[in-house]
Amino acid sequence: MNEMIRFSQRLNTRDNTVDLSHGSGGRAMAQLIEALFIKHFDNELLRQANDQAAFNVSAGRMVMSTDGHVISPLFFPGGDIGSLSVHGTINDVAMSGARPLYLSAGFILEEGFPLADLERIVASMGEAAAAAGVPVVTGDTKVVEKGKGDGVFITTTGIGVVPEGVHISGERAQPGDAILLSGSIGDHGVAIMSSRENLEFETTIESDSAALHTLVAEMVAAVPEIHCLRDPTRGGLATTLNELAQQSGIGMRLDESAIPIKPQVAAACELLGLDPLYVANEGKLICICPAAEAERLLAVMRAHPLGREAAMIGTVSADPNGFVEMQTRFGGSRVVDWLAGEQLPRIC
């Protein structure tokens, strides 16, 4: 791959910015693809440089998932929009119990976006994909006029294959099932807020953004009868539990003192008047399983780096209204409802 022969100048990522020619299908775009995307995503399928990637599939159920990423700020403690998009789609695929195979990535770039930032993001995606063993095999780039995009938007799609005998789905929760959580809540949301304007506070909290597929693989291997898996991203733990309750037509009883939370996350939420139950996570999962399997699953989770603080946080109850109730740390009881709109910091 000799960039210098085909292009008159090396791509200058240090000083230059995205311009409309990068999305127009001509030489500039070809150079961008080669010097940035192919360089950092670096895999056989992508190097074939076709508009599509062709591969064989093994027998079994296939899973596909897609996500648009519009996060701001683009760079935050513990990650960036690039690593977030790779982890996010790997996780969505993995929550079906599937082994993720490949990713695609579509970029919508705003005219004027610094190439240095783009390279940083693409490099981060490449690292995340390589570490996870799930390559980005195909993609697309478009450029919009200045003012019509927020720097960069990324859409990732992932495919995977579900092992035989595994049926994980949101409507499978049964009364009596155990509700497990892989680790502390609120890390990602607090990390994002700490780097937003007007809410400056200093914390060492980093986003928990991570690819959970190897954790899921071990869990599913140990207990194929897992009923539900879901990662509590936007809207936090509370929203995801309510979704599952509604899908399965059951209720839940939680124990607040069993829910892991880092002291700094709790403190940041106190300062801003936020409820950590509604703050986003990007490297955690909820698992609903038959009660008899809970202990074994917890042991498997705790043995994995991403599940060290795994805990059983509640049980599924028979409840036609689908209420998620929680025994508070204080001894009383409260209902954990859906999030109404975006949670905003409050003074009252």
What amino acid is encoded at 135 in this protein? P
What amino acid is encoded at 248 in this protein? S
344 binds another protein (CB under 8 A): yes
328 binds another protein (CB under 8 A): yes
Which letter, b or e, does each residue of 8-39 get, where b requires 16 or more Cβ atoms within 10 Å of its Cβ? eeebebeeebbbeebbeeeebbebbbbbbbbb
If the CB atoms of residues 251 and 283 are measured against another protein, the closer one turns out to be 251
Least CB distance from residue 334 to another protein, whole Å?
A: 5
Listed ranges 14-22, 62-70, 172-180, 335-343: which one lies at the site for another protein (CB under 8 A): 335-343
200 binds another protein (CB under 8 A): yes
Nearest to 50 by CA among 164, 155, 133, 137: 137
Contact 297, 163 (CB under 8 A): no
Order of strands, edge to edge, in the sheet holding 228-230? 228-230, 286-289, 178-181, 311-317, 251-255, 324-327, 333-335
72 binds another protein (CB under 8 A): no
Work out the number of other CB atoms within 10 angstroms of the CB of residue 196.
Answer: 11
Least CB distance from residue 193 to another protein, whole Å?
A: 10
If the CB atoms of residues 254 and 300 are measured against another protein, the closer one turns out to be 254
Least CB distance from residue 124 to another protein, whole Å?
A: 26
Vertex 41, ends 119 and 99: CA angle to 5°?
130
Least CB distance from residue 328 to another protein, whole Å?
A: 5
Strand 152-162 to strand 61-69: parallel, antiparallel, or no bridges (unpaired)? antiparallel
57 binds another protein (CB under 8 A): no
Cα 98 from Cα 133, distance rounded (Å): 14
Work out the number of other CB atoms within 10 angstroms of the CB of residue 80.
Answer: 21
3-class DSSP state of 43: coil
Whether the bond into 73 is cis, omega within 30 of 0 = yes
Listed ranges 83-91, 156-164, 284-292, 323-331: which one lies at the site for another protein (CB under 8 A): 323-331
Binders of another protein in range 137-196 (CB under 8 A): none
204 binds another protein (CB under 8 A): yes
318 binds another protein (CB under 8 A): no
Listed ranges 19-27, 135-143, 222-230, 337-345: which one lies at the site for another protein (CB under 8 A): 337-345
70 binds another protein (CB under 8 A): no
Cα 192 from Cα 234, distance rounded (Å): 12
Listed ranges 55-63, 89-97, 286-294, 338-346: which one lies at the site for another protein (CB under 8 A): 338-346
271 binds another protein (CB under 8 A): yes
Residue 6: φ, ψ to 5°: -85, -20
Q: Which residues contact 265 (CB under 8 A, 6 or more apart)?
A: 184, 185, 186, 187, 190, 205, 276, 279
Q: Which of 270, 291, 292, 296 binds another protein (CB under 8 A)?
A: 270
Nearest to 186 by CA among 252, 260, 243, 241: 260
130 binds another protein (CB under 8 A): no
Q: Which residues contact 26 (CB under 8 A, 6 or more apart)?
A: none
What the block records as the tokens of 292 is 């008899």
Binders of another protein in range 229-268 (CB under 8 A): 263-264, 266-268
Q: Which of 52, 57, 320, 346 binds another protein (CB under 8 A)?
A: 346
Least CB distance from residue 309 to another protein, whole Å?
A: 17
Least CB distance from residue 87 to another protein, whole Å?
A: 25
Least CB distance from residue 321 to another protein, whole Å?
A: 7
Residues interacting with another protein, by CB under 8 A? 198-204, 263-264, 266-268, 270-273, 275, 321, 323, 325, 328-335, 337, 340-341, 344-348
